[in-house]
Amino acid sequence: MLVLRHENAVLRRQLAGPVRYESADRLWLAALSGLISRHQWREVFPVAPGTPLAWHRRFIAAKWDYSARRTRTGRPPTTTALKKLVRRLARENAGWGRRRIQGELARLGRPIAASTVWEILHAAGIDSAPRRTGPTWRDFLTAQAEGIVAVDFFHLDTVMGRRLYALAFLEHGTRRLHIAGVTARPTREWAVQQARNVATDLGMRIDSLRFLLRDRDAKYGPSFDAVFEADDMNVIKSAPRAPRMIAHCERVIGSIRREVLDHVLIMNEAYARLVLDAYQRHYNEHRPHRARNQRLSEPHMITGLGDLTDRLLQAEPNARRRSTRASA
């Protein structure tokens, strides 16, 4: 016992601050205190006699204060999902005030006070009055996108280094892609024929299109423009060396390169046409688009992807044999 007391004294001299006890230490010391008379506590325990009694009083007070049964006072907090919905309704409907947003949420089964709607909009920096700042450029261009189609050429190289050219059309509103054709000699006559093919494929949808965006490439020509002008479409040419003026079409060409051409060896023109045709179906029928809230261009034409892969695998040996015969 003397040795233990001396070791305890040596350890306490090495401590820089006061000794801190955990709840288990306090319980253990309080239990042992009942085995020793109070006048001997100072010699045995490192705490004063009133300390275990204070611990016991705090324990009893915490046990009977019913903190586990207490509930938060006041209104329940507004959920994050509801706040996002309020902000979305305000941004997408510039003519709605806080009362209209409150009514729409009540109709959706999300009751909320008009003052809460105001607080959410105010915290997000959105004016709660109708027609806050007018339509933004994004809203304006989104509304006009349904009547715009863009066109642009892009190139691809075969295994033997032969350069091929393809013509791509993109409908801005639906993000529907049309790869008109592939050729090694893109003449004006060839471009006019591809324009006629695309106009035929559009069918009745061409009545909703108003503008055709293209660059100033000499391969288009007046006859190319006349195909679309016959359907009451206005041909708009981009400024010289300004690819961002047809940025949507440039972006989809970049997607074609990153998702297909950078991973496939093109054997010849026929195989290039097959690969691009398969990617066109995938882009229109299976690939979600962020500009359309992750929806598809043609959601009613969903088919399996396995048949596209099988067609490519079956066509590659045939294309390789045709390329070998052509080189011989």
Are residues 211 and 118 both part of a single domain?
no
Q: Provide the CATH number for the domain around residue 274.
A: 3.30.420.10
Identify the domain boundary among 123, 152, 174.
123
Checking if the pLDDT of 290 tops 80, the result is: no
> What confidence tier does 180 reach under pLDDT thresholds 50, 70, 90?
very high
Q: Which pLDDT does position 199 carry in this prediction? A: 93
Q: What is the three-class DSSP state of 312?
A: helix
Domain assignment of residue 321, given as a range:
142-327
Checking if the pLDDT of 151 tops 60, the result is: yes
DSSP state of 295: B
The reply to whether 131 falls in a domain is no
Are residues 98 and 50 both part of a single domain?
no
Checking if the pLDDT of 310 tops 50, the result is: yes
Q: Which pLDDT does position 297 carry in this prediction? A: 75
* Token duo for residue 159: 């295994």
Q: Which pLDDT does position 13 carry in this prediction? A: 60
Q: Are 117 and 101 in contact (CB under 8 A)?
A: yes
Are residues 146 and 95 both part of a single domain?
no
- What's the chain's average pLDDT? 80
Q: Which residue has better confidence, 191 or 49?
A: 191
Are residues 178 and 272 both part of a single domain?
yes
The reply to whether 191 falls in a domain is yes
Are residues 102 and 25 both part of a single domain?
no
Q: Which pLDDT does position 226 carry in this prediction? A: 95
The CA distance from 96 to 127, in Å, is 11
Q: Which pLDDT does position 312 carry in this prediction? A: 52
SS3 sequence of 124-187: CCCCCCCCCCCCCHHHHHHHHHHHEEEEEEEEEECCCCCEEEEEEEEECCCCCEEEEEEECCCC
The CA distance from 133 to 278, in Å, is 44
As a whole-number percent, the residues of the chain with pLDDT over 90 amount to 38
Q: Say how many domains are in the chain.
A: 3
Comparing 31-45, 144-158, 221-235, the range with the smallest average pLDDT is 31-45
The reply to whether 198 falls in a domain is yes
The reply to whether 133 falls in a domain is no
> Treating both helix axes as pointing N-terminal to C-terminal, what angle do 80-92 and 114-123 enclose, rounded to 10 degrees?
80
The reply to whether 70 falls in a domain is no
SS3 sequence of 13-78: HHCCCCCCCCHHHHHHHHHHHCCCCHHHHHHHCCCCCHHHHHHHHHHHHHHCCCHHHCCCCCCCCC
Question: What is the end-to-end Cα distance of the chain in Å, rounded?
Answer: 103
> What confidence tier does 9 reach under pLDDT thresholds 50, 70, 90?
low
The CA distance from 150 to 168, in Å, is 8
> What confidence tier does 40 reach under pLDDT thresholds 50, 70, 90?
low
Identify the domain boundary among 54, 88, 123.
123
Q: Which residue has better confidence, 309 or 157?
A: 157
Question: For 251-273, what is the mean pLDDT?
Answer: 93
